[in-house]
Amino acid sequence: MPDFLLEIGLEEVPARMIAGAEAELGRRVQVLLARERLLEPKAKVTTYSTPRRLAVLVEGVLTAQADTEEQMTGPSWKVAFNDGAPTAAAEAFAKKAGVAVSALEKVATAKGEYVGASIKRHGCSASELLVAELPKEVLAIYWAKNMYWRAGKPERFVRPLRWLVALLDSAVVPLEITGIAAGNASRGHRVLHGDAPVVIASAKDYSEALRKAFVVVDTAERRQIIRKALDKATRTVAGVRWREDEPLVETVLHLTEWPTVILGDFEPEYLKLPEEVLVTVMRDHQKYFAVEDSEGKLAPHFLAVLNTAVNEEGEAIIRHGNARVLRARFKDAQFFWDFDQKTPLTERVESLKNVTFQKELGSYYWKTEENRRVVKNLVNAMPGVNWQPPDWNVLDTATKLAKADLTAELVKEFTELQGIIGGLYAKAQGLGDKVRDAIYDQYKPASTDDKIPKTVEGQLLGLADRVQTVTAMFGINMAPTGSKDPFALRRAANGIIKILAESDVPLSLASVLNAAAMKDANRQQLDDFFRERLHFYLKDVRGFRYDVVNAVLAEDANDVRSAIKRAEDTTGKLGSPDFLAVSAAFKRIKNILRQADEKGYAHGNWANIKADEAKNLRSAIQSLANEVAKLREQRKYSEALALIATLRPTVDTFFDKVMVLDPDESVRGANLALIAGVLSNFSGIADFSEIVTS
């Protein structure tokens, strides 16, 4: 059983796109081979990638498709043959089936005798099929950004394709993609191996052949090499460790074919700069790993992952070069920091008038004043009991200064640190830890995985800033549509929900929206938007089942923490047969009420019910209703649901024995009132009719 290898040689592919493309190539090749009946059942598909190549090795490809035989049935025998002589119908069918008229057979069927033909198809060879089908698959790989390179612009791909290896064992599969013919020659590391071709003798020799040419094609192996090399380099300094950084490992992994690591130093005096700035320079600008001591404080070293192997002399040169670049960057940051201190944040607020927030809305000065208005409304909307109110002076100062760092040179240099730098400046300028924290944390959570601001002032500022932005943008018709969300309003709304979910701030979604209300913003549209975001949060962030989320939000989509608790407690009951039976009954009740409504049947007085089973249900409701309401009030949803589940036998018997839509109008009215009473008395936690019970 041959093995198939495809290697696509490219100019350096952007690191962020490689992992996805590698997986997609593997999927596409596997699906293609399976579809074409060329994949052995136990075949093993392995993918590889480096910045300059994507590859897939399939162990267990059939040499050719199996031959097939197919039976085809045509017109009835009588129509096809007239006294044994073929008619036009027989000839037409034979032509369609691709056989001679003499090869047509008589087939007996239940409907009589018909003409049949058996068509033998010769299977294609794997090589032929791959030549015909694989190029399309390769060119269909998704890339976030494509380019043209050939004259006449025949195709787009992430970067120019420079070589192709396609082998079935040792035989070249003569594919052609973007004008490049496949062969058995790959390429090695640009510098360590040079331009000489790397001949792949046979498909399964692939990774070893390239290893000899200084390319480790297996990403898992490279990841391991990088981690070990980071450990090893760090051990040359006592008492330190490298700061774990999974995303950075993934990035450098996709920037190297032959990774090695060097440890370099910088002058300890730069440790006076805020850690956030140092780490941003190292991590985001230089792709270096930071080094920290046992308490997690930065140490004056860095780790660079190289794409080469050098001797001691080369290592010294490279270390020196990298250290010089880092020093220059730190020096810049120091220069900007010192320069910025000449104008304190309080003096920068006025100049925000020159910084546009949004053309149709206004400047960041306008935004700041708006945020102050919203923060004030939020504080006024909060009940004063059972809760430690925010420090108003801190909150107002932080809100006033939150955007002032936009005019700072350091922020122009490190835009990703806006807010954080403002917080650091506030502290450096004597405004205190609480103001610093609130400004520093204003953009938290940056994602659904991030933490919320740690202080209540930070939480309120975060809420106000976001809800003001969303409301104002909706007011000028900038609501997100489909995949378009240029102002990241969904992320802003997610942040609001996460803050409400994970803080103690006693505010509902409605009161947050009320605080930001503007006359042009369509409230219904905003409510729908936030409801959709809450749905997303419960389902995709918290992982609740969609039917539970629907059930919970059908009752109330306003109090975020209650919605979470109700979803948790409802989820806890999904294993209870009684609860599921009651849920099914609720669904039934809703259906009956809808039917009754369509027919115009009026609800009567449940005092008029006749059947014993109905009376039993009525007393069950009466005996449980108060207790359930009390538990619900105390947010003891689990206990409330357990009580509701005890209704099961009574409800089941009721539906077994009683015809709700009784022909007698008075009985029917009473029955309808009774089942409506079930709904009204036990609602408020979740709409059980939404629960999928089967």
Partner 1 sequence: MFRLQSFWADRGCVLQQPYDVEVGAGTMAPETFLRVLGPKPYRVGYAQPSRRPADGRYGENPNRLFKHTQFQLILKPPPVNVQELYLESLEALGIDLKKHDIKFEEDNWEWPAGGAWGVGWQVMFDGQEITQFTYFQQCGGLDLDPICAELTYGLERITQVLQDLDSIYDIVWARDPETGAPVTYGEVRFAEELQFSVYNFETADVAKLWEHFNLYEAEAKALLTQANSLLESESASGSEKRRFPLLATYELALKCSNLFNILDARGAISVTERVGVIGRIRALAVGVAKAYALQQAA
In the complex, the residues that contact partner 1 under the rule CB under 8 A are: 11-12, 14-16, 51, 145, 147-153, 159-160, 162, 190-192, 195, 255-256, 286, 288, 304, 306-308, 310, 313-314, 317-318, 320-322, 324-328, 331-332, 335, 354-356, 359
Cis, bond preceding 154 (omega within 30 deg of 0): no
Residues in the chain: 694
Q: What is d(CA 458, CA 515) in angstroms, rounded to the nearest whole number?
A: 17
Cβ-in-10-Å burial (0-12, 13-18, 19+) of 609 comes to buried
Residue 270 CB, nearest approach to partner 1 (Å): 14
Q: Of 176 and 208, which has the nearer Cβ to partner 1?
A: 176
Q: What is d(CA 44, CA 57) in angstroms, rounded to the nearest whole number?
A: 8
Residue 49 CB, nearest approach to partner 1 (Å): 15
Torsion-angle region of 22 (φ positive above 0: left; ψ -120 to 50: alpha; else: beta)? alpha
The answer to whether the beta carbons of residues 49 and 219 sit under 8 Å apart is yes
Pick from 571, 487, 579, 493: nearest CA to 528: 493
Q: Of 16 and 122, which has the nearer Cβ to partner 1?
A: 16
Q: Which two tokens stand for residue 86?
A: 């073929």
DSSP state, residue 83: T
**Helix axes 509-516 and 364-381, enclosed angle (nearest 10):** 140
Residue 356 CB, nearest approach to partner 1 (Å): 4
Q: Of 301 and 603, which has the nearer Cβ to partner 1?
A: 301
The answer to whether the beta carbons of residues 117 and 92 sit under 8 Å apart is no
Q: What are the C-alpha distances in Å from 694 to residues 245, 535, 568, 580, 590? A: 45, 23, 20, 9, 17
Backbone angles phi, psi at 39, to 5 degrees: -105, 125
Q: Of 149 and 487, which has the nearer Cβ to partner 1?
A: 149
DSSP state, residue 301: E
Residue 362 CB, nearest approach to partner 1 (Å): 10
Q: Of 180 and 379, which has the nearer Cβ to partner 1?
A: 180
Q: Of 94 and 177, which has the nearer Cβ to partner 1?
A: 177
**Helix axes 364-381 and 392-401, enclosed angle (nearest 10):** 160
Residue 341 CB, nearest approach to partner 1 (Å): 16
Q: Of 148 and 392, which has the nearer Cβ to partner 1?
A: 148
Residue 95 CB, nearest approach to partner 1 (Å): 46
Q: Of 54 and 90, which has the nearer Cβ to partner 1?
A: 54
Q: Of 110 and 151, which has the nearer Cβ to partner 1?
A: 151
Q: Of 328 and 488, which has the nearer Cβ to partner 1?
A: 328
Residue 303 CB, nearest approach to partner 1 (Å): 12
Q: What is d(CA 461, CA 467) in angstroms, rounded to the nearest whole number?
A: 10
Residue 165 CB, nearest approach to partner 1 (Å): 17
Residue 307 CB, nearest approach to partner 1 (Å): 6
Residue 151 CB, nearest approach to partner 1 (Å): 4
How big is the CA angle at 42 (ends 36 and 47), to the nearest 5 degrees? Answer: 75
